[in-house]
Amino acid sequence: MSRSVVVLDYGSGNVRSAVRALEHVGAAVTLTADRATALAADGLFVPGVGNFHACMAGLVAADGPYLIDRRVAGGRPVLGVCVGMQVMFEGSSEPSAAPVEGVGEWPGTVTRLEAPVVPHMGWSEVEVAAGSRLFEGVEGERFYFVHSYAAHTWELPPPADSFAVVAPRVTWATHGQRFVAAVENGPLAATQFHPEKSGEAGLTLLENWVRSL
């Protein structure tokens, strides 16, 4: 039986490539912002194209922070991609008319990359976290990035009881400086790169996620 996945439709640019990639790996995909459908799906895919504050405005209008928080609290999987990962943090230093808060599932602020060339655009290797399920079978592959901002620190402390809760698995990459490339934190996972644009490696990663739902 196919796993049902909602790609959250909140105005974040062209998401058809994400829909096609998820369908390719066997998911039954619905592109919608319908609250009940997003809560009931086996998995919720949160895309993100553009700048942080525009994405947050669209998310808020679609009740995205509530949907994400409700699903995570209930142990129901969510996958954020690119700015869809950045919004999981508390905020961003990206310029805007007024301060914009993130969804706040993870502590920390997303900041601009310090590198000779920004944006970071192209294929890069990643330092895969030990025990990663998301990267199973593609640990040595490159993935496609397009971004100017990233999380440069991971501030969520490990669980007090390591036998009861699996510690977050954090994967890193480097462009001028080291940054968070992916996180696996219980039901909430995210990638700074675009798996749907990362060829066979990206499809394998999405297949790993869909299989885990």
Q: Which residues are catalytic?
A: 82, 194, 196
Q: Where are the beta strands (DSSP E) in the chain?
A: 4-8, 28-32, 43-46, 78-81, 91-92, 109-112, 120-125, 142-147, 149-150, 169-175, 177-185, 188-191
- Cα–Cα distance between 10 and 108 in angstroms, integer? 24
Other CB atoms within 10 Å distance of the CB of residue 155: 11
Q: How far is CA 113 from the centre of its chain?
A: 18
> For the stretch 50-82, what's the b/e string if a residue is b when 16 or more beta carbons lie within 10 angstroms of its beta carbon?
ebbbbbbebbeebebbebbebbbeeebbbbbbb
DSSP 140: T
SS3 78: strand
Q: From the CB of residue 108, how many other CB atoms can be counted at a distance below 10 Å?
A: 18
